[in-house]
């Protein structure tokens, strides 16, 4: 049976499933309940000088029938006194000595950083996470993402913390920056033992059409919030990949955060180099019990593939993620419709006709709504298979024989790329497009 235990920069945990610093880790009660449910670690709701929060605090994007596809908050760090939190950290560690309890911290001055590091370590925290991510409220006070966006300041604070810390230090990065390598490098140069990312993305989730204020509305006004949940997973994975591929930054372990909800999400983050994962929104939505599906799915995946520990496959996707210029321009796929499973909804036809390359034809017979691919027009863009509501009804079939390969970079070196506006070497040269006036005929016929 697979061994799910981890040693993350010296922090040991029975499994890689950690709660992210957020409302689910606000108290010892919640964290004990989570550990009982199966979570291997928890990053305590950020500790510092306690705040005063507003009401309400959350907003969401409900996309079609999916609630909280994206989630947004204007909550700050903990509003509970430090002494209460420290007492509860001590208690949790008494009951769960083998689980990871990490104290997230955020303060201002060097003296405060030194003091709070000592306080949380004395309470028994196994590690420290530095919150340089909060994109609302705290950044206005020179903390949170205000630090995450300033690599020099970030490095200085990591150095301060490392002066005082005897447990491992995880630097949590903000995604509100165009080049994640800069804060990542600053954290490593400051001596961080590990990195975690992402914190929330600065955002406006929506506008109330009566008060004209952004959600969540606080007495007729609103503020930008931090975006998270399933919608941010692709952004988080891209930033994780950037860090995990970097020769210097990848020397420290990375905890992946952002939109993780299922075992598959967990596996994807591990394949991109994360060796622990953290979850907030999915737990706020469905509760601590989701860890059971995560664990069962991860175990099944590892058994199927023959992996004993997560380190056997951590980062395995990284060599396959390259720059566009290295992709094989000779690789050719086209769409194929499985006529046995097609339900004749014609969504693929509309998508290809109006949004792609006019490569799907209807039969013209109202009693037969199953469309046909016009192979010579199909560029293999994939849109039809993405819109098709029937799983695997449209597949992309390989048409090249795999013997030829040339990339944009190689073509550039061979001096064989389009360089003029009407260059014959353009990819779309000679490719079928209907005459503009055929659009009018289509309207007349309909």
Ligand X SMILES: Cc1cc2nc3c(=O)[nH]c(=O)nc-3n(C[C@H](O)[C@H](O)[C@H](O)COP(=O)(O)O)c2cc1C
Residue 433 touches ligand SF4, criterion: CB under 6 A: no
| Chain centroid to CA 130 | 19
Residue 50 touches ligand X, criterion: CB under 6 A: no
Closest CB to ligand X among 237 and 381?
Answer: 237
CB 128 within 8 A of CB 158: no
DSSP 8-state symbol, 318: G
Give the whole-angstrom CA distance, residue 382 versus residue 44.
43
Name 153's bridge partners. Answer: none
Closest CB to ligand X among 176 and 377?
Answer: 176
Residue 372 touches ligand SF4, criterion: CB under 6 A: no
DSSP string, 103-117: EEE--SSHHHHHHHH
Closest CB to ligand SF4 among 207 and 343?
Answer: 343
Residue 280 touches ligand X, criterion: CB under 6 A: yes
Among 145, 174, 192, 200, binds ligand X (CB under 6 A): 200
Closest CB to ligand SF4 among 261 and 353?
Answer: 353
Residue 20 touches ligand SF4, criterion: CB under 6 A: no
Q: How far is the CB of 408 from ligand X (least distance, A)?
A: 34
Strands (E), 306-424: 333-337, 360-361, 372-373, 394-398
Among 34, 45, 88, 146, binds ligand X (CB under 6 A): 45
Residue 70 touches ligand X, criterion: CB under 6 A: no
Q: How far is the CB of 225 from ligand X (least distance, A)?
A: 9
Look up residue 159 and give its two tokens: 């150095």
Site string for ligand SF4, 373-392 (x = CB under 6 A): x----xxxxxxx---x-x--
Look up residue 375 and give its two tokens: 């192979």
Among 156, 342, 361, 362, binds ligand SF4 (CB under 6 A): 342
Number of C-beta neighbours around residue 208 at 10 A: 14
Residue with tokens 């209460």: 84
203, burial (CB in 10 Å: exposed 0-12, middle 13-18, buried 19+): buried
Of 203, 188, 291, 274, whose CA–CA distance to 239 is shortest? 274
Closest CB to ligand X among 147 and 383?
Answer: 147
Q: How far is the CB of 438 from ligand SF4 (least distance, A)?
A: 17
Of 222, 205, 204, whose CA–CA distance to 213 is shortest? 222
Give the 3-state secondary structure of residue 407: strand
DSSP string, 124-153: T-SEEEEE----SSTGGGT-THHHHT-HHH
Closest CB to ligand X among 60 and 385?
Answer: 60
Q: How far is the CB of 433 from ligand SF4 (least distance, A)?
A: 12
**134 is known as an active-site residue:** yes
Site string for ligand X, 82-111 (x = CB under 6 A): ----------------------x-------
Residue 281 touches ligand X, criterion: CB under 6 A: yes
| Chain centroid to CA 223 | 23
Give the whole-angstrom CA distance, residue 211 versus residue 352.
40
Footprint of ligand SF4 on residues 388-427 (CB under 6 A)? 388, 390, 393-394
Catalytic residues, by residue number, are 134
Positions that interact with ligand SF4 (CB under 6 A): 335, 337, 342-348, 351-352, 356-357, 359-360, 371, 373, 378-384, 388, 390, 393-394
Positions that interact with ligand X (CB under 6 A): 20-23, 45-46, 71, 73, 75, 77, 104, 131, 133, 172, 199-200, 228-229, 232, 257-260, 279-282
């Amino acid at each position: 049976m697979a061994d799910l235990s981890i040693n993350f920069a010296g922090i040991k945990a029975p499994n890689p499933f950690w709660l992210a610093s957020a409302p689910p880790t606000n108290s010892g009660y919640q964290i004990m309940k989570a550990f009982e449910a199966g979570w291997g670690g928890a990053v305590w709701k950020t500790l510092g000088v306690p705040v005063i929060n507003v009401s309400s605090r959350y907003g969401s994007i409900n996309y079609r029938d999916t609630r909280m596809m994206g989630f947004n908050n204007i909550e700050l760090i903990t509003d509970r006194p430090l002494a209460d939190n420290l007492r509860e950290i001590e208690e949790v560690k008494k009951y769960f000595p083998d689980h990871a309890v990490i104290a997230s911290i955020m303060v201002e001055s060097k003296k405060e950083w030194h003091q709070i590091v000592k306080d949380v370590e004395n309470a028994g925290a196994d590690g420290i996470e530095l919150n340089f991510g909060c994109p609302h409220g705290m950044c206005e006070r020179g903390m949170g993402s205000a630090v995450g966006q300033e690599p020099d300041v970030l490095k200085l604070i990591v150095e301060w913390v490392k002066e005082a810390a005897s447990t491992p230090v995880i630097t949590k990065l903000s995604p509100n920056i165009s080049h994640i390598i800069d804060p990542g490098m600053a954290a490593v140069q400051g001596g961080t033992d590990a990195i975690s990312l992402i914190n929330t993305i600065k955002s406006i989730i929506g506008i109330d059409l009566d008060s004209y204020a952004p959600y969540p509305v606080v007495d007729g006004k609103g503020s930008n919030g931090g975006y998270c949940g399933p919608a941010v997973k692709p952004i988080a994975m891209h930033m994780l990949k950037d860090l995990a591929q970097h020769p210097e930054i990848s020397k420290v372990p990375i905890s992946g955060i952002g939109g993780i909800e299922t075992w598959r999400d967990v596996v994807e983050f591990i394949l991109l180099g994360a060796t622990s994962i953290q979850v907030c929104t999915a737990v706020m939505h469905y509760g601590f019990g989701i860890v059971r599906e995560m664990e069962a799915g991860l175990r099944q995946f590892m058994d199927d593939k023959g992996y004993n520990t997560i380190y056997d496959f951590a980062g395995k996707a990284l060599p396959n993620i390259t720059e566009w210029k290295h992709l094989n321009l000779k690789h050719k796929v086209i769409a194929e419709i499985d006529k046995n499973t097609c339900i004749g909804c014609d969504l693929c036809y509309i998508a290809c006709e109006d949004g792609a390359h006019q490569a799907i034809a209807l039969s013209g017979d109202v009693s037969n709504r199953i469309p046909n691919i016009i192979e010579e027009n199909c560029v293999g863009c994939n849109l039809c298979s993405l819109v098709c509501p029937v799983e695997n009804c449209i597949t992309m079939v390989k048409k090249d024989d795999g013997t030829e390969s040339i990339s944009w970079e190689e073509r550039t070196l061979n001096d064989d790329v389009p360089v003029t506006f009407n260059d014959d070497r353009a990819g779309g040269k000679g490719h079928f497009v209907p005459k503009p006036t055929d659009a009018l005929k289509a309207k007349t016929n309909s």
